[in-house]
Each structure stands twice: as C-alpha cells, then as structure tokens.
Amino acid sequence: MSPPFRPIDDLTRLGLPPGAPIDALKPAWRRAVSALHPDRNGPQADRELAEVNAAFQRLQAFERRHGRLPGHRDAVPRPSPSVRRGSPRWVVGVVAIAAAVLILWPQSHPGDGPNRPGDEGAMDASAPNPAVASHPAGIGLPPDRLEVGLEAEAVERLAGPPLFRSAERWEYGPSEVRFTDGRVSGWYSSALRPLPVGDTPSFPAPDHH
C-alpha cells in the first residue's frame, strides 16, 4: 500500500521549504523545469520533468483552496478516526430484528398480487419508462475533453488554470490551447503535460523561446 499523499512532498520536489511564500512557487518551478529540460538532460529526464509539472499543478490547487502553500502542519497526515470496537446492545438488537423481517417477509412471485396479467393497473415491462425516455443519454451533459468551439470557461474546467493566458493562447507548460474570438480553435498536447483532448489534429509544437 502506497503512503498517503502529503502536499509538503511537492514543495520538497521544487526545492522549497515548508511554509514558503506564494510568490516563491513559480520561480522554483521554472528553475526545476530548466534543470530537467530534455535538451540538456536527454530523454531520461522526461519522467522527472512530468513529476515536477504535476507537483506544481497540485501546489497551485492547494494555494487556491487554502490561500497559502503547505506548511509544517501539512507534513503529517491527519490520523483517521479510530473505529470503536464492539457495538451497543440496542444496535445488535435492531440488526437482529431487521434480519428476521427480511427472512420472514413473504416474497412475491410472478402472477401474484395486483400486477397479474389482465389486472387493471398492471405495468407493462416492455413499455418505455417516461422518466428515462425524457432524458436521452448524452444530451445536455458537459464535454469531457477539449473540442473546437469550446468557450474559455469550459477549457478551464477541463484542463485547469493555465500558467500563461492571453486572448489568443493559453499555455500549460509545453502544451497550449489556442482561441479565436473567445472559442477554442486548436491545441498542442505534449506528453510532458497532456491535455484532455480527442483525436482532432493539433497544431505543431509551440515555440516558447
């Protein structure tokens, strides 16, 4: 069983101490990315670079929730509530009564009761359920991946906040999403920071130099 996730570990990965100020996060991430860039370290650094990017994203999410970066109090996970052994006698009695009711309750059989064939009010199993028929599958559900034409709000819900944004381009590290008139017109999804995209052809790799 893997150890519980600790936000403080992501700070350590970026070389920051517990309780570091918020404005130290992005410079630390940039230093780590620069040190692990494949152009300098070769393909073997891809996995470490992906882990650095993931740690940066988790720390951004932590900061949005708590208004700070992890500190010493986040270093040790909270203990789970202890389970009390044994149960009060009244709980045991209620469980026993419920089990007896389930065992002794008369079971219905095909052809019994008011739903026998020919009885008034019998339910036709082959008839469509109006509650199901009125809600066709997939209609009205939000998209689960990026699509051309999506608005910026939907992109942020799917991919999270970008590291850089402008009216025409949002950057997610080595990946990016492009916009035309406020709607998605294409993207580039890098294996180091994949985006939730389908099979639609993407733009060539962006040049962020």
pLDDT tens string 49-94: 889 999 999 999 999 999 999 888 877 655 554 444 445 566 667 7
Indicate which CATH number applies to the domain containing 17: 1.10.287.110
Q: Give the per-residue pLDDT at 192.
A: 83
Q: Give the per-residue pLDDT at 131.
A: 42
In a domain, 101, yes or no: no
Tokens of 22: 């918020």
In the predicted model, is pLDDT for residue 166 greater than 70? yes
Q: Give the per-residue pLDDT at 204.
A: 66
Taking residues 194-208, report their average pLDDT: 71
In the predicted model, is pLDDT for residue 28 greater than 90? yes
In the predicted model, is pLDDT for residue 170 greater than 70? yes
Which of the residue ranges 19-23, 141-145, 169-173 would you say has the lowest mean pLDDT?
141-145
Q: How many residues in the chain?
A: 209
Distance CA 149, CA 181 (A): 10
Taking residues 129-135, report their average pLDDT: 43
In the predicted model, is pLDDT for residue 159 greater than 80? yes
Taking residues 38-50, report their average pLDDT: 74
The single-letter DSSP state of residue 163 is S
Q: How confident is the model at residue 130 (pLDDT cuts 50, 70, 90)?
A: very low
Taking residues 43-51, report their average pLDDT: 81
Q: What is the pTM of this model?
A: 0.36
Q: What's the burial of 171, exposed, middle or buried (CB within 10 Å: 0-12/13-18/19+)?
A: middle
In a domain, 125, yes or no: no
Q: What's the number of domains the chain is made of? A: 2
Q: Give the per-residue pLDDT at 29.
A: 94
In a domain, 88, yes or no: no
In a domain, 109, yes or no: no
In a domain, 167, yes or no: yes
In a domain, 68, yes or no: yes
Phi-psi domain of 173 (left: phi exceeds 0; alpha: psi -120 through 50; beta: other): left
Q: Give the per-residue pLDDT at 65.
A: 93
In a domain, 104, yes or no: no
Which of the residue ranges 42-46, 135-139, 192-196 would you say has the lowest mean pLDDT?
135-139
Range(s) of the domain holding residue 60: 7-74
